[in-house]
Amino acid sequence: MSLNYGTLKSQILEDAHRADLSTKVDDFVRRAEGIIYRKLRSAELVTRVDLTDSDRVTALEGFYTLPADYLEDRSFFLVNSSSGDIQLESVSLAELRRYSGGSPVRHYSIISQTVVEFRGVPSTTDVVELIYFARPTQFSGDSDVNDILTNHESIYLDASLAALYKYTQDLELSQTHQDAADAAIEALNEQTGRVLGGARTSGYYDFNSWGGR
């Protein structure tokens, strides 16, 4: 049975045999969501957006606002119809500042979860395509679903049960379910890496062929 937010909550309480925690189950899922999206980098989360002059933080500077649902970049491309799209290189902030604003747009550095800086400075007509991992909208109504819950419901269940058992101070069961969630996340990240390029064995993912770190 495919789960939605309502049936997910019911399944959590049923698996734990803790119907008495129904008023707390939303919080368990919130905590699970936080853990999942800090660690998970799967194909279901990949999306794209064009950054244009309207996304620039300050006029004529190289700082741009990232999408509100941004988790992590896979790649940036300077869209150039005359000579083909140019993939930009991720560099450290210190290295980025060695390039002048008048240089060709070839490099970027993530300043924070909300801002990226490019060097050189894109023109007012330049378009930069961002391909990135996006955070799904937080569950709210009982009918809400997303692709992770639909395709990998065990990740939500185990991460939520880990939060539930931590709340009840059954730390052994909490760790058991957290280990299961982490193993499923790691396996999914590695599978995504094989499909999209460059899975790494240490850590969560590495998409080198797409310009990831």
With CA atoms as reference, report the closest residue to 185 among 163, 208, 162, 156: 156
**Per-residue pLDDT of the chain in tens (213 residues, 90 and over written 9):** 689 999 999 999 999 999 999 999 999 999 999 999 999 999 999 999 999 999 999 999 999 999 999 999 999 999 986 778 999 999 999 999 999 999 999 999 999 999 999 999 999 999 999 999 999 999 999 999 999 999 999 999 999 999 999 999 999 999 999 999 999 999 999 999 888 864 332 333 333 333 333
**Cβ-based neighbours of 163, under 8 Å, separated by 6 or more:** 27, 28, 29, 31, 32, 174
Long-range pairs of 96-102 with CB within 8 A, sequence gap ≥ 24? 101/61, 101/62
Provide the token pair at 187.
């396996």
Q: Residue 204 CB: number of other CB atoms within 10 A?
A: 18
Helices (H), 70-132: 93-96
What's the rounded Cα separation, in Å, for the pair 187 and 11? 23
In 24-110, alpha helices (H): 25-39, 93-96
What would the two tokens of residue 149 be? 């819950």
CA distance 28 to 68: 23
Q: Are 106 and 86 in contact (CB under 8 A)?
A: yes
Strand partners, 64: 56, 116
- The pLDDT, as a whole number, for residue 93 is 95
Tokens of 206: 């590495």
Helix (H, G, I), strand (E, B) or coil at 120: coil
CA distances from 193 to 5, 41, 180 (A): 28, 9, 20
| Model pTM score | 0.85
